């Protein structure tokens, strides 16, 4: 079993739809959870960062972490064509000297006008 599982899609939705992107993980030590957006041929851009369980909202984006189920989600409301990108979840198990992120494979999202 991979440490982080993410459905690679592709996911295609109409403009204005609510998008739900998800990752599951097996390492119960993970405490730090991130979502990155990566446009084609560009570097990943940090979208959301959550520590431990709970929800975090930033504009049209909401990140949820359920540590009991080892499941994280990113919701995009009122999706726009400019949201078309690959979304990567990433997680880590501690602060201090541990600098390693474990990434999901990424989900390719297309929002159609």
Partner 1 sequence: DTEVTQTPKHLVMGMTNKKSLKCEQHMGHRAMYWYKQKAKKPPELMFVYSYEKLSINESVPSRFSPECPNSSLLNLHLHALQPEDSALYLCASSQSGVQTQYFGPGTRLLVL
What residues make contact with partner 1 under the rule CB under 8 A? 8, 32, 34, 36, 41-46, 49, 88, 92, 95-97, 99-101, 103-106
Q: Give me the phi and psi of 83, to 5 degrees please.
A: -80, -5
Q: How far is the CB of 19 from partner 1 (least distance, A)?
A: 19
Query: From the CB of residue 87, how many other CB atoms can be counted at a distance below 10 Å?
Result: 24
Nearer to partner 1, 17 or 102 (CB): 102
Nearer to partner 1, 19 or 88 (CB): 88
Handedness of CA 43, 46, 52, 57 (dihedral sign): negative
Q: How far is the CB of 80 from partner 1 (least distance, A)?
A: 22
Give the whole-angstrom CA distance, residue 113 versus residue 81: 6
């Amino acid at each position: 079993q991979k440490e982080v599982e993410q459905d690679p899609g592709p996911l295609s939705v109409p403009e204005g739809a609510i998008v739900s992107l998800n990752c599951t993980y097996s390492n119960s030590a993970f405490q730090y959870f991130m979502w990155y957006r990566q446009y084609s041929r560009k570097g990943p851009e940090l979208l959301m960062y959550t520590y431990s369980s709970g929800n975090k909202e930033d504009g049209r984006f909401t990140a949820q972490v359920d540590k009991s189920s080892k499941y994280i989600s990113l919701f995009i409301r009122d999706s726009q064509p400019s949201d078309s990108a690959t979304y990567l979840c990433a997680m880590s198990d501690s602060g201090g000297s541990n600098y390693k992120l474990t990434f999901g494979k990424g989900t390719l999202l297309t929002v159609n006008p």
